[in-house]
Structure 1
Amino acid sequence: MEKLTVAKTLEPTYPNKSTGLFGGQSSGILNWNDIAYPHWYKMYKRLVGNYWQADEVNMSSDVKDFLGLPENEREAYLKIIGLLSTLDAPQTRTALLISLYATDPAVQSIMAVIAQQEAVHNESYSYVLSSVVSLDEQNKSFQLGRVDEVLLKRNEEIKKQYNLFVESPTVENILKTLVYTTLLEGMFFYSGFAFFYNLARYNKMVGTSTMISYINRDELEHGRFISELFRATLAEHPELNTEELTQWIYNHYEKSVELEIEWSNYVLKGIEGLDLKEMSGYIKYRANKMLRMLGLSELYPDYVKNPMKWIRAYVDNIDGTKTDFFENKSRQYTKTSDLNGFDDL
């Protein structure tokens, strides 16, 4: 398939309203009142409305809590932070790469916001670790994505697809990269998120779980937009809307679910309050949800409903009416301007 070229930054001979998301024409001038997909302005507003900074979250109680965690919870904490950083760091660059080839200025702007938020997410992992462990322990956690065999196996396919997009920027590879981005935003993070919310259920590491709630809220919006971008791009390129692509998506979702379950069994074994069978069902439920957002049918008919209902107290509902972030929470959130020693470590 023909490779795309980087979209022109400014071309006044082209129309302001883009003629195509990828491979189309646009002047580069963005008028939000004259875009190809008008409802995306609301998505942009929701994204920018979620602005936050890592050092707004008070981690003082977590410093004490971490010392009192049993060894398996401390180990899981560090491994899961390592996982999240491994996945979020490439998201900043991937969002920027997608925007480089987008010929719709609205997509470029939305992806710029997503890239900025992913950068904040990655910073937050450094911030929470700097609050509770030494620099050596922080560095070990961030090395896991390079040395842990289970994590390397888990991330192999996404590594292949993201790098293939760099090497061969075709519309087909953009579609497949968007599929893997929905997996990241909508499923890969969620066993890790559940671990931190479970700690909060026992009133432990509440600062960290607060941070995760901010990140989770962003990821829900990212997944919503990326799935819409996928469907719109596919509609503009009906020649790619094939049974082969559909089967590719199902195969990679199914494989990703298997790897996520394997990872969760590895990192969450023996954690009080977390049932691994229930977690497996939750992962399948999340996969079903993201497949529906891509316009496809569920892979796991027995997991259409959330089997971990307790987790809804900690996250926004992507399908329902969006409530204020603080409205549905049983915890008190406090912000601080103190960097909790972040600069020192």
Structure 2
Amino acid sequence: MTYLDYKAIDWNRIEDAIDKATWEKLTSQFWLDTRIPVSNDLDDWRNLSPEEQDVVNKAFGGLTLLDTLQSEEGANVMRADVRTQHEEAVLNNILFMESVHAKSYSTIFISLNDSKDIDRIFHWTNNNERVQYKAKRINEIYQNGTGLQKKIASVFLESFLFYSGFYTPLWYLGNNQLPNVAEIIKLIIRDESVHGTYLGYKFQLGYNELDEAEQAELRDWMYDLLFDLMDNEIAYTHDVYDQVGWSEDVKTFVRYNANKALQNLGFEPFFPNATAEDVNPVVMNGISTETTNHDFFSQVGSGYLMGEVEAMDDDDYDF
């Protein structure tokens, strides 16, 4: 008897319960940028200073490039090292949602800027040394690294490098500005939280199968990568945020999320003075809003209903 080289996926026989839980989590929180009325934030946008608008645009430009990398390479390069068929199905979902994330920034740009401004944003992004460095550094690992190195790089990108850009909309949300822009970012953060946790879990399975010498070698490699990316991220933060005086606060937020990335990979936090209590409380308030769930296994937040997000009126700010 001749058999084909294909095996039908059976979701009734699960090898790893985390695969099924992650699939259900990601599909239950599906969303699209077109269902959020970003143009309702135009009044807030027009009241920002030119410097503040520049910060927002640059932050989102950098995020667009990183999400483009994730949608084109990130989940794709993990396929060769999957442990189960269900893991590959989860990666398919992650790959698609990274494309949704990348597109979402264009929705924000076209809602708030004219075409010439948008062209300037993408020119800056595609030619910025710091943005290009982190993309090239991560992609080099995606193309040439081991399976576990690729997972480290992806978790660092998802749980750490994105957050210098996320700081901006969370700050404005905490100050009751740009709520619809922030709603998109909260939804992206919700996805990235699951992506980083899931790939970190898969990393830990493989890491725990290594002997002590192999673990030590990989751990040293990981910290070398972390320090290199952090040096670049600090410089990038100054490039973007010095003009509005936020750089020190953003650096604390970046270090806080680098510690979260390490925890996703199963390691202790490394950077001191970078706990949730050290982060600007306005930003932590934004990231902790009830429409966003930052924990892995919770259900979709009851505060989020697709298509029913509305811009806030001035009266809503009177407490």
TM (norm. structure 2) is: 0.84
Quote the residue 2:85 is aligned against. Answer: 105
- C-alpha displacement at 1:266, in angstroms? 1.7
For 1:7-51, what per-residue CA distance to the aligned partner results, in whole angstroms no more than 9, with x for missing partners?
xxxx9678xxxxxxxxxxxx5322223232123211110011110
Please give the alpha-carbon distance, in whole angstroms, between the structure 2 residues aligned to 1:113 and 1:306: 34
Quote the residue 1:314 is aligned against. Answer: 286
Ranked by relative contact order (alpha carbons within 8 Å, sequence separation 6 or more), the top structure is: 2
SS of 2:15's equivalent?
A: coil
Structure 1 residues 77, 35: closer, same or farther in 2, change over 3 A? same
- C-alpha displacement at 1:319, in angstroms? 4.8
Does structure 1 residue 52 correspond to structure 2 residue 23? no
Quote the residue 1:302 is aligned against. Answer: 273
Does structure 1 residue 180 correspond to structure 2 residue 162? no
Q: Residue 267 of structure 1 is aligned with which of 240, 243, 247?
A: 240
Greater alpha carbon shift after TM alignment, 88-97 vs 263-272: 263-272
Greater alpha carbon shift after TM alignment, 197-206 vs 175-184: 197-206
Q: Percent identity?
A: 22
Matched to 2:285, the amino acid is: A
Please give the alpha-carbon distance, in whole angstroms, between the structure 2 residues aligned to 1:88 and 1:248: 24
Please give the alpha-carbon distance, in whole angstroms, between the structure 1 residues aligned to 2:302 and 2:164: 22
Alpha-carbon contact 1:85-1:142 (below 8 Å) kept: no
Greater alpha carbon shift after TM alignment, 300-309 vs 30-39: 300-309
Does structure 1 residue 286 correspond to structure 2 residue 262? no
Structure 1 residues 103, 230: closer, same or farther in 2, change over 3 A? closer
Matched to 2:106, the amino acid is: S
Matched to 1:35, the amino acid is: I
Please give the alpha-carbon distance, in whole angstroms, between the structure 1 residues aligned to 2:69 and 2:133: 17
Please give the alpha-carbon distance, in whole angstroms, between the structure 2 residues aligned to 1:92 and 1:186: 16
Does structure 1 residue 210 correspond to structure 2 residue 171? no
Please give the alpha-carbon distance, in whole angstroms, between the structure 1 residues aligned to 2:293 and 2:28: 17
Quote the residue 2:317 is aligned against. Answer: none
Gaps of 5+ in 1: 1-10, 15-26, 166-172, 336-345
Structure 1 residues 55, 212: closer, same or farther in 2, change over 3 A? same
Query: Residues 135-146 of structure 1: matches in 2 within 5 Å?
Result: 135-146=115-126
Structure 1 residues 97, 160: closer, same or farther in 2, change over 3 A? closer
Please give the alpha-carbon distance, in whole angstroms, between the structure 2 residues aligned to 1:98 and 1:323: 26
Please give the alpha-carbon distance, in whole angstroms, between the structure 1 residues aligned to 2:83 and 2:249: 43
Structure 1 residues 55, 243: closer, same or farther in 2, change over 3 A? same
Structure 1 residues 200, 321: closer, same or farther in 2, change over 3 A? same
Please give the alpha-carbon distance, in whole angstroms, between the structure 1 residues aligned to 2:214 and 2:278: 33
Which 4+ residue blocks in structure 1 deviate beyond 6 angstroms?
none
Matched to 1:314, the amino acid is: G
TM (norm. structure 1) is: 0.78
- C-alpha displacement at 1:101, in angstroms? 5.0
SS of 1:314's equivalent?
A: helix
Query: Residues 98-247 of structure 1: matches in 2 within 5 Å?
Result: 98-99=78-79, 102=82, 104-165=84-145, 173-236=146-209, 238=211, 241-247=214-220
Give the structure with the larger helix fraction: 2
Please give the alpha-carbon distance, in whole angstroms, between the structure 2 residues aligned to 1:175 and 1:302: 29
Please give the alpha-carbon distance, in whole angstroms, between the structure 2 residues aligned to 1:175 and 1:154: 19
- C-alpha displacement at 1:128, in angstroms? 1.0
Structure 1 residues 162, 39: closer, same or farther in 2, change over 3 A? closer
SS of 1:145's equivalent?
A: helix
Please give the alpha-carbon distance, in whole angstroms, between the structure 2 residues aligned to 1:82 and 1:158: 17
Quote the residue 1:334 is aligned against. Answer: 310
Matched to 1:334, the amino acid is: E
Matched to 1:300, the amino acid is: F
Please give the alpha-carbon distance, in whole angstroms, between the structure 2 residues aligned to 1:240 and 1:230: 17
SS of 2:273's equivalent?
A: helix
